[in-house]
């Protein structure tokens, strides 16, 4: 059986969990915790920096959430069309995946990391730069959504990347009110069963969020 190693509060773990849930793929979740040091040992050995999530399928080990989704699409396909068969369409979806990882997830994590490093005294320059990136990304995505079926029930690599990135990014730098399409899409994503499950399973860890988890979502 497939085994996914990660943490239920981790945005990149969500990214790998969403396609598993969407396709009802049988797997075992192996949480990183002090009670299971063997899980941490497997993750540490899997990649250069020992980051999670990590997927194991028999003798095959895959790290990096996007690579995990690509592997699932190839070897454990289901009703959710994670990647289209058309190569040109697949390139476009992979491009959007990088938008959410690099321009939403990364600056969000920079802000969170700054609050972890300097509780109560985050560097305003670091936060300012990250917020500027998020602001530009939010506005670009809102415009892109005009041509994307953003109320669809379909889950592709785009939704897997967008949902955790936007979930946490809106906590650290709220999406501006005037970006109505983006705010509606985030709410729609969080209503999808596979994504809702990630949100609900992570509730028990919200008190660990360094900025203080907002009383919503």
* Every domain of the chain and the residues it spans: 2-75, 87-192
Pick the CATH number of 87-192 from 1.20.1050.10, 3.40.50.2300, 3.40.50.300, 1.10.8.10: 1.20.1050.10
As assigned by CATH, the class of the 2-75 domain is alpha beta
Per-residue pLDDT at 139: 98
55-66 pLDDT, tens digit per residue, is: 999 999 999 999
114-171 pLDDT, tens digit per residue, is: 999 999 899 999 999 999 999 999 999 999 999 999 899 999 999 999 999 999 999 9
Per-residue pLDDT at 150: 86
- DSSP character string of the chain: -EEEEE-TT-HHHHHHHHHHHHTT--EEEEE-STT-HHHHHHHHHHSTT--S-EEEETTEEEESHHHHHHHHHHHS--SS-SS-SSHHHHHHHHHHHHHHIIIIIHHHHHHHHHHHHSTT---HHHHHHHHHHHHHHHHHHHHHGGGS-TT-----HHHHHHHHHHHHHHHHSPPPTT-HHHHHHHHHHHHSHHHHHHHHHTGGGGGG-TT---S--
């Amino acid at each position: 059986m497939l085994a996914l190693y990660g943490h239920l509060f981790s945005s990149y773990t969500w990214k790998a969990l969403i396609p598993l849930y969407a396709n009802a793929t049988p797997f075992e979740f192996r949480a990183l915790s002090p009670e299971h040091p063997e899980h941490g040992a497997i993750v540490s050995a899997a990649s250069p920096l020992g980051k999670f999530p990590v997927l194991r399928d028999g003798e095959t080990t895959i790290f990096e959430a996007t690579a995990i989704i690509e592997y699932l699409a190839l070897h454990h396909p289901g009703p959710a069309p994670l990647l289209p068969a058309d190569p040109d369409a697949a390139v476009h979806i992979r491009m959007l995946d990088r938008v959410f990882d690099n321009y939403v997830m990364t600056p969000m994590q920079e802000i969170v990391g700054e609050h972890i490093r300097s509780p109560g005294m985050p560097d305003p320059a670091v936060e300012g730069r990250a917020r500027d990136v998020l602001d530009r990304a939010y506005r670009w995505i809102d415009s892109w959504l005009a041509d994307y079926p953003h109320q669809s029930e379909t889950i592709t690599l785009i939704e897997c990347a967008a949902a955790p990135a936007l979930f946490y990014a809106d906590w650290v730098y709220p999406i501006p009110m005037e970006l109505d399409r983006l705010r509606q899409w985030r709410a729609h994503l969080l209503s999808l069963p596979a994504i809702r499950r990630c949100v609900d399973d992570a509730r028990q860890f919200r008190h660990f969020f360094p900025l203080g988890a907002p009383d919503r979502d």
